[in-house]
Copies of this chain bind each other. A is one copy, B any other.
């Protein structure tokens, strides 16, 4: 007898799940219906800054798979159709065709919730004025590009200095804008400790970006034609021909909440290791993945919300295997993230100092400077590596790296070491690739590990 799988959300997690389930089950065995309220499927939201900046030529370059390609694989994909209710007791969803407004119930045997995240949009005067742009969807990106081409002025203000904020700063620099970044925190990149964020601020300032820290935006000022003309903080005004919001996202879980499904302290859905939604309401028939779920942080043992395409793809793969009759699990994350602003590379994994404190861990923190290649080799670039290790046990807790070429992906070594729960002493013996064009004889991560060993032994902070 044929089962029906319903998928809510046509992006990375949802469509990966649908595709993987289809690989495992024929259309005769499993009917797959997917609802997407937007105009696109399976696109790279992480790529939008590079499209806006001009590094990626075409919007369609960011689309991994079109609706037609999904349909060719026997996935009944309904675009511009929004699920407005999940009825978990009756195992059905109510969906609305956004063009006609018509609504219809669809029954499911298995349900995948992949509703993603919504960008934070502070409730400020002027926030909805023309010229103020989010960068969450391809439509957002197109609207921003339209504003950039249609506006003669060259002053841009970015609100927020996290990943999206700094990547958009790079994009706007690439488009020839004078860029001001207005940031609530003491330093940009609050995903780093402030001492490492300071390095990012200094580099951004060196690129000609105006960094305004410790500043709360109070309103968007508009001109007579209603368009945004400036961003105001409590004590200053920053003229703006275009305003970009890069404040971060929250799990899009209103549907799930209304259905009585369990949400965590960050507002994300809670699942088990197989990405199946916990609790009696879901009744074992609902899975969730991507930006709408919370994930286990393997270092702190706490749940976190991390909106990142690579996790969404993994979740989708795992959900698809499970709903397709296999078995796969997502053990959790260690919190790895990499980014760049022009030629500055930024990476982190594991816990920051404040995370370690919040988790009640005693730690030693060390910082070293080294180079990406042998010091004598052309192009050797400085990088700063900060490492946290647990006192007494010496267990690695986290690594942050700020540098130029070759800095960011070095964090992967620490990500694997965290997953394996290595000590910093074990790390000092790691057999990492060495040749003068690729690394000093002691890789920067190992230099940091050696210093961390000393700090742990000395018992110092």
Contact = CB atoms under 8 A, between A and B. Distances in A.
Nearest to A318: B429
Nearest to A439: B409
Contact of A415 (B62, B374, B411, B432): B432
B338 A433 contact: yes
A338 B50 contact: no
A115 B425 CA distance: 27
A176 interface: no
Given A308-B434, A330-B429, A406-B409, A47 B377 contact: yes
Say how many copies of this protein the assembly contains: 2
Interface residues of A, number: 63
Nearest to A60: B376
Contacts of A55: 377-378
Interface stretch (A178-186, A208-216, A309-317): A309-317
Interface string A85-105: 000000000000000000000
Contacts of A309: 434, 441
Nearest to A429: B331
A377 B428 CA distance: 34
A254 interface: no
A420 to B, nearest CB: 3
A442 B313 contact: yes
Interface string A45-75: 0110010000110000110000000000000
A198 interface: no
Contact of A433 (B311, B337, B417, B426): B337
A340 interface: yes
Given A376-B44, A430-B416, A438 B56 contact: no
A326 to B, nearest CB: 10
Nearest to A62: B376
B338 A435 contact: yes
B411 A413 contact: no
A12 B434 CA distance: 14
A437 B50 CA distance: 9
Contacts of A12: 441
A413 B412 CA distance: 6
A347 B313 CA distance: 27
A310 B431 CA distance: 8
Given A56-B376, A336-B432, 14 more contacts: A46-B374, A46-B434, A46-B436, A47-B376, A61-B376, A62-B376, A331-B426, A334-B431, A337-B433, A338-B438, A338-B439, A340-B435, A406-B409, A416-B416
Contact of A377 (B56, B334, B409, B415): B56
Interface string A264-301: 00000000000000000000000000000000000000
A441 B11 CA distance: 13
B336 A435 contact: no
A333 interface: yes
Given A61-B376, A376-B47, A412 B432 contact: yes
Q: Which 6 interchain pairs have the tightest Cβ spacing?
A: A420-B420, A338-B433, A310-B434, A416-B416, A61-B376, A336-B431
